[in-house]
Structure 1
Amino acid sequence: MRPDPVDLFQAQRPRLLRLAYRMLGSHAEAEDMVQEAWLRWQKSERDRIAEPAAWLTRVVSRLCLDQMKSARARRETYPGTWLPEPLIEEDDDALRPDNLTLSLMVALERLSPLERAAFLLHDVFGQPLDEVAQTIDRAPAATRQLAARARAHVQIDRPRYRVPRDTGDALARAFFEACRTGDATRLGAMLAQGATLHADGGGKVQSVLNVIEGAAAITRMFAALSRKFGSEMELLGTTTIDGLPGFICRIAGSLQTTALEIEDGRITRIYITRNPDKLSGVVLH
């Protein structure tokens, strides 16, 4: 009895969604790529496909590569900082983190589409190098070089350890409260000296356009924010965002997510997403 083609595809769908999201940084675009793969799967000569999982991975990867080329052009004119859509993690979420954090997702943006594909397929999703070469239509030696270059680029952004969930939740809650009250002393104690803040408003809502560098500058920004909006800042809950401790809140009615990278007990990077187009699917579990 032949396997049901729908069952075969559905068994691969969560992994294909993870791959597409990691390639594109967008849930909606990931869904579109997987839907297109489904249409191609329906039209394919399935009797000739010996390994459905490899075939579907190849189709989704190539679709994403084409999408990434146009996305790069759009991001050149993107207002301010571009961040991936926040991934609010749950144990049964179809888009599991695959040991990638938001910091690494941001680092992947520095790679070419082929470097990103080679790194994700080989280093993250464990695909053999010869299969990766076939997927991206490059020689194995060239594919190995692409993966090595990508690895070197992102290595410095790998966090040394993950913060336990309880510890992360407590720190995220304390950070929100310090921001809401504009407590400079408390903020200064929580931030590493070289901390950076990255905010994505997409030109749709008020947000800082450039990366803010240094604990002092970040503290000043939150103190000013507290004076203006402190009474209108509402914590909706703490969570994990792409492997990092974080929280969801409202400021003057606008939803935002904040993810915190922590090293040696201090916050080294802050990632704020305010672009409403990237928050439509955010649900606090």
Structure 2
Amino acid sequence: MRSKTTDLFVEHRRSLVEYAASIVQSRSLAEDVVQEAWMRFDDAARRHLFDEPLSYLYRIVRNLALDGCRRRAREGRHVVEGADLVAAAVAEDRPSPEAEVVARSELRLVREAMLELPERTRIALEMHRFGGATLHEIADFLGLSVGLAHSLVVQGLDHCRERLVRRGSTSVSRRGKN
């Protein structure tokens, strides 16, 4: 069995949505406003007896619609004009074609340099840089001290860096040692 407030809401729902839409300028937002207004109205009607329930329901719709407009206006002030252009530029996470060519060339040089390393040094460097292994893990795997594992990683990095610099890779020489 439906209550009188439910009957009132169902009977006037369409006009409430149109009223809210005239304020918020969006049918879907108006639907949300009316739904929220109904929940508030129904809750209040359970606790109070209203002389003019329809007027009260319209007032709730109006207040919620205006509050929503104010909130969207406040949020709009925090958006920088052209932000979608910045977001589009940031969203494109791909390097330029020139940067790709340079990176591929550097990668080829690093691979060649790593092949020139003694096996133990190469393994230590690969485990550390590509596998994310700690110096303790490298030392355990190779049966070395942690200090020697550290030295092997540093020697491997230095060798690769020297190869890149010697071959004229300007991006590496600008970055310096890592």
* TM-score band w.r.t. shorter chain: 0.3 to 0.5
TM-score, with structure 2 as normaliser: 0.39
> Which structure features the higher share of strand residues?
1
TM-score, with structure 1 as normaliser: 0.26
Higher relative contact order (CA 8 A, sep 6+): 1
Larger Rg: 2
